[in-house]
Every structure is written in structure tokens, then in C-alpha cells.
Structure 1
Amino acid sequence: MMETSWFTQSDGQAVFLRKWIDPHTKPRAVLQLAHGMAEHSGRYKELATYLAANGIIVYANDHRGHGQTGERMGIMGFFAEANGFERAVSDLYEISEKIKQDHPNLPFFILGHSMGSFLVRRLIQHQPHICNGVILSGTSASKGLIGKLGLMLAKFEIRRLGARAESPLMNQLSFGQYQKGLPTSESWLSRDQQAVNAYFNDPHCGFISTTQFYYDLLYGLDKIHQRAEMTKVNRSVPILLISGSADPVGSFSKGVDKVRKSYLSHGVVSVDLHLYQDGRHEMFFETNRQQVFENLLTWLNEKI
């Protein structure tokens, strides 16, 4: 069963929140899910329903500038006028506090996909004792110099177009390379053409984000990889990485393995990697997603 509500953040912004709970199953844990860029929390109905049926309550909000939250704001692909990435991270934290108030005796996990994984990685730097386990899907290693150049270009685009303007240039530079050799512009997301079509036809998916959003995203991607920030992560909290070997965001497994090694090198005791052969970016929407769901549940059961 899915419930919906609006959660008012500390700065007054209302954020759309979904909750999945099975009334016939005793809850054993709760999981907060952070969706990716240019999508929304409702897409995760199949995963959330599966987890809820197995005793895992799932909460997921539409980030600022996304889904129902973006509609209420009147702008898509935009976090905030300033410090947008950190504001989106704070949103997750404030929601997590409410979740834990409602379920004080249940183990608490956080899952982030793609952009959501970057937000979660920043959250566990700010709040190292926030959860009992972290799941990062479709995440990426540091972009290094290319990321620095991207930040400079985003600043230029803000000056050229304005902070709230869409940036087709940044969109093309970010995603254009992912589409090479594939049948459609969104095929890099999944081998399941039905899932790709559903994304393409969803009015809350695939939009072009603003110049300010790209700056905020690149800022966040740079920040989470800084050595001083990596040392803030709780070394005893288990981390699970989920990726497809054909995911360009994870540099076709090389990038996500760099993330795994980075956490290990900073002393995190338990870092697992579920790497799926030929899987693309969205493993929760892949042709073998049932296997992905089951493996995730097994991991959660081991940590509860």
C-alpha cells in the first residue's frame, strides 16, 4: 500500500513524500530512498512494493525541482538559488529524522540512485551515524579535471543564460556520450525497452535541468570525493554498491570499483559490490531486476 503526503522542510519548502508499507507484513526495517536526476520517487513502486512485502517499509521523496515537488515549485531541474546540493542533502536528513521518530525501534537504511547516491554520500559525511547501512546504485567516481572544467562551464552558463534557465549545452555534455551506439537517447538506462519507453513517456522524466542545477550537481560530485570529507564517513556502517557492467555513469564498472576501493582505503570495514554483467544504469529497471531485488533483500536481511 502506498501513502502520500507533503513534508515541510525547515526553510518552508514543501516536499512530496511517498511511503510504501504492507499492512499484512510485520515491519522489520525501514529504508529511505533518494531517486536520481530528472526522474521521481514514483518510478520505484515495483522495488518498494517488493521490499514492503518482505517487511521493509520504504519512504521516498521527490527532490526539489523534481516530480510533484518541482511542480509545486513551478520549476523543474532546480534545487535552490544558492547551495542547492547541500539543501537537497538537508532535505533527506530532515525527512530521515521524521522517519525515525515514526519508527524508533526499526533498523534504518538509506538507498540512493545515481544523483541520489551523490546526495546520500554527502549525507553520511555530514551525519556519519544516521543509519545502519547504505546502498548506492549507479554511482560514479570523481571526474577530476573534467569535473572542475564542468564547474567553470556551469558558472559561464549561469552568467550567460541565468540561474533558472535550461542548459541544453550542459545536458548534451553530460548525457550525449552515453547514447552512442544505442537505439534511443535513453537506452543507456536499461536493456528493457518497455522500461525505457515508460521513462521517455513520463512527463516528470527526462527534462533538461537548469544551469544552477548543473553547477550544484558538479559541486556535490567534487565535494563528496575530497579526502577531508571522505574521512568523516562512519567506518563501521556497511555499504553496498549496485551497478551494471555496461553503465556509463560508473565508467563500465571501473568507476564504481574506484568508489569501492576509496571507501575501503578510508577504513570502511564492509563495502560490497553487486556488479551485474551487461546491466546498464538503472539496475532496478533492468531485464534481471528481480534478481537485483532479491540480492538487495538478502543483503538487508544480513544487516538487520
Structure 2
Amino acid sequence: MTDVKTKSALSPQGKPYDELSHFINADGNHIFTKCWEPPADVEMRALVLILHGISEHCGRYDPLAEVLVAKGIRTFAHDHLGHGQSEGARIDVTDFNIFIRDALQHAGMIKEKHPGLPLFLIGHSMGGTIAILSMNKKPAEFAGCVLIAAATQINPAEATPFRLFMAKASAYMMPQVGIVAIDPKWISRYPEEVEDYANDPLNYHGKVKARISVQVLKGIDNVFKSIDSIEWPVLILHGDKDHLVLLEGSKVMHEKIKSKDKTLKIYPEHFHALHREIPEDAEKVRQDILNWIEERIDRKPEVYCVAEKEETNEMTTEEKESEKEKAEEETKEENEKEELKEETKEIKEDESVKDEALENENKE
């Protein structure tokens, strides 16, 4: 996956990028990548790109990837900008769209190397937000999406107007200041997983910074704004004891999207990282993901065909919005012209009345 070898560029851990799999994004940053290969005797049937959550890294998806590759699904992932072994200030981003842009760049590289194979997205937590917005931007590129406790709704109890104001003010004046910490105990019910998360040197263990927090909120807001237009295949997974991301967001998404191929699975007593829960429960979650993908490998979902048709033969959502804005602007201009005409007419009528009065006065 390495595009350019640069001996001078080092990862945040001090390792040369010419020794690490990576791509270089549009801003010139080295983005660390990981690939899990199917066994040599297993035919490659599909592709998956995993998008991890905030403060973690793609190496934490080994158990899930192993289940997928065993069935011929070549699996890819990368560390988001500012995460894990990728370049960038730790847990910071100036614009949430950078995450989406990088995800689409990686997806494009994967598709180019494996033409003809269906590509699925899997997004966890913040990675779920990125996955949704990436799917919305280029729906025809993907065969479907799996969301694991995706961040799709702001918690009103936490994000009070005052806290939102303070977060935005901090993001502007002190973007690197930490405002909220992730408590590892809410990641999983399994003590070994909690310990593993807390001791993982590639995870970020400080408070999540102000600027990225505000950018994530903007990403969630964009998901909410586009939710009515979603028509692609999606599997939505959430634990009913998730203390980090609202279950209600997954419920609302499942209810409001227009997709004909949508499934919501709620796991009783599960915490946030469903794929890293108590071993037997995590195994069930990983199997559910595999089953859903396998069911869609050999068939092209109807909604996916619709997405392709819309992209190739009809206007995109952005184009429709642009046309709508243009039409509204033209209507506004027409109204202003009509108002101007009416005002001009009234002025002329007033002048006519005055002229007539003056003429009568002269006659007298």
C-alpha cells in the first residue's frame, strides 16, 4: 500500500515510513495502513475497509479481520490522521471532512487494485460517522456498510448549550486543550479487554481535545441532515448498555433512512466495543457481521443499483441542493423585480396624479 518511500519521514513512534505500509493523503501526511490477507488456499471474494473510532487505532481490529479473511474477504484499515501510527498532531483535525477524504482515497486505492470485487465499509463509533458520510458521498463505490455503535446522535445530557458554547470557544482559542476523557471501563464488560485498551501504547489516553470534539459534532450533525436520503444497504449494531454513544441514535437512523436493506441488532447488556466484548458475545457479533456481508457478496442489492443509477444518470444530492438553491435565488430575484415594478408603478401613478392636479390648478 506504500505509494512513496521517504527515509526522512518518521511515524509518531519514530519508525521510518519506508518500513511501514502507508499512503500519503492530499495534505502530504503519511497515513498508516494495515491489510489482512485471506489464506492462500481460500479464494478472495470481497473486500472490507475498517474505520476505527476516536483515540484508538486500526490494529485493534485483528480479531474481526481474522474472521473475515478466513472466508475470503480481504480486509484493510488505516489509522486516521493524528491517530496510532499516522502523522498529524495527536487526536486533532481541523476539519472532519479530512477523515472522509482519506477514507475515500484509501477505498479508491483498494478498488483500483481489486476491480470487480465488492467493497464493504465497517465503521466503529466515530469511524461509523466517517463511514456514513463516505457512503453518502460515493454510494456506488460500496456494496454496503456495517455500523458498530456509530456516533450518529449528540447526547443532550452531555452536550448542553453551555458546554457546546465552551467547546466551540475552546476549539477556536485553545484547540489542543483536553475537554473529555474516555473511561476504559465503558469499552467492554470483559476485564481483559478493558486492561488491554488501557495499556495499548498506540491508543491515545489523554482527554479528547477541543477542536476534534467540535469537528466530530459537526460530522454527527451532517449525518442527521442527510439521514432521510440514505438508501444504501446497512447493518446497524449497538449495545443497550453503551455508555459512550447513544443507542437512540442507531434507532433513529434505522427508523428514518429510506434503505430497503436495513437491519438493526441490539445486543442486551453489551457495552461500546461490541466486537471486543466478553469472548463468546464478541464472537457472536463478529459472526453476525460476517453473515451479513456474505449474504451480499454474490448479489447486487436493489438499493445499490439505485444508488449507481442516481450517480450516473441523475443529479447527485449536492447537485439537487445546488439547483434548489439556484431556483430559490431566481425566485427571490423575480420577487424583488416584481416589488420594484410595483414601487415604480406607484411612483408613476403618484406623479401622474400630481401632474393632473397641477394642470387643473393652472386651468383655474
**TM-score category (smaller protein):** 0.7 to 0.9
Q: Which has the larger radius of gyration?
A: 2
Alpha-carbon distance in 1 for matches of 2:82, 2:52: 12
CA contact (8 A) 2:180 2:209 kept: no
- From 8, 16, 19, give the equivalent of 2:32: 16
2:328 matched to which residue of 1? none
CA contact (8 A) 1:47 1:284 kept: yes
Equivalent pairs counted in the alignment come to: 273
Alpha-carbon distance in 1 for matches of 2:245, 2:126: 12
CA contact (8 A) 2:227 2:253 kept: no
- From 232, 236, 245, give the equivalent of 2:240: 245
TM-score normalized by structure 2?
0.71
1:64 matched to which residue of 2? 81
Alpha-carbon distance in 2 for matches of 1:211, 1:239: 31
- From 75, 85, 91, give the equivalent of 1:77: 91
User: Residues 172-211 of structure 1: matches in 2 within 5 Å?
Assistant: 172=181, 175=182, 185-205=183-203, 206-211=205-210
2:124 matched to which residue of 1? 113
Q: How large is the RMSD of aligned CA atoms in angstroms?
A: 1.9
1:222 matched to which residue of 2? 221
Runs of 4+ displaced beyond 4 Å: 144-148
- From 255, 259, 266, give the equivalent of 1:268: 259
- For structure 2, the 5+ residue unaligned runs are 1-18, 298-364
Is 1:298 equivalent to 2:295 in the alignment? no
Deviation of 1:22 (Å): 1.9
CA contact (8 A) 1:151 1:218 kept: no
CA contact (8 A) 2:129 2:152 kept: no
2:50 matched to which residue of 1? 33
Alpha-carbon distance in 2 for matches of 1:34, 1:21: 17
Alpha-carbon distance in 2 for matches of 1:114, 1:281: 8
CA contact (8 A) 1:151 1:219 kept: no
CA contact (8 A) 1:51 1:297 kept: yes
Per residue, is there more helix in 1 or in 2? 2
CA contact (8 A) 2:188 2:194 kept: yes
1:256 matched to which residue of 2? 250
Alpha-carbon distance in 2 for matches of 1:207, 1:112: 22
Give secondary structure in 1 for the equivalent of 2:131: helix
Alpha-carbon distance in 2 for matches of 1:132, 1:282: 24
Q: Deviations over 1:122-166 (max 9, x none)?
A: 112222222011101112442276658354222211344x22x23
CA contact (8 A) 1:147 1:218 kept: no
1:171 matched to which residue of 2? 180
Give secondary structure in 2 for the equivalent of 1:90: helix
Alpha-carbon distance in 1 for matches of 2:284, 2:39: 25
Give secondary structure in 2 for the equivalent of 1:129: helix
The sequence identity of aligned pairs, in percent, is 27
Give secondary structure in 2 for the equivalent of 1:198: helix
Is 1:104 equivalent to 2:99 in the alignment? no
CA contact (8 A) 1:77 1:207 kept: no
Alpha-carbon distance in 2 for matches of 1:89, 1:147: 24
Give secondary structure in 1 for the equivalent of 2:141: coil
Q: Deviations over 1:221-261 (max 9, x none)?
A: 111101xx23443x2x210011111112443x433212211
The letter for the 2-side match of 1:100 is: K
CA contact (8 A) 1:189 1:281 kept: yes
Alpha-carbon distance in 2 for matches of 1:281, 1:296: 16
TM-score normalized by structure 1?
0.84
Deviation of 1:188 (Å): 1.1
The letter for the 1-side match of 2:217 is: L
Give secondary structure in 2 for the equivalent of 1:273: strand
The letter for the 2-side match of 1:230 is: I
Deviation of 1:53 (Å): 1.1
Q: Deviations over 1:161-180 (max 9, x none)?
A: x22x231xx215xx5xxxxx
CA contact (8 A) 2:188 2:276 kept: yes
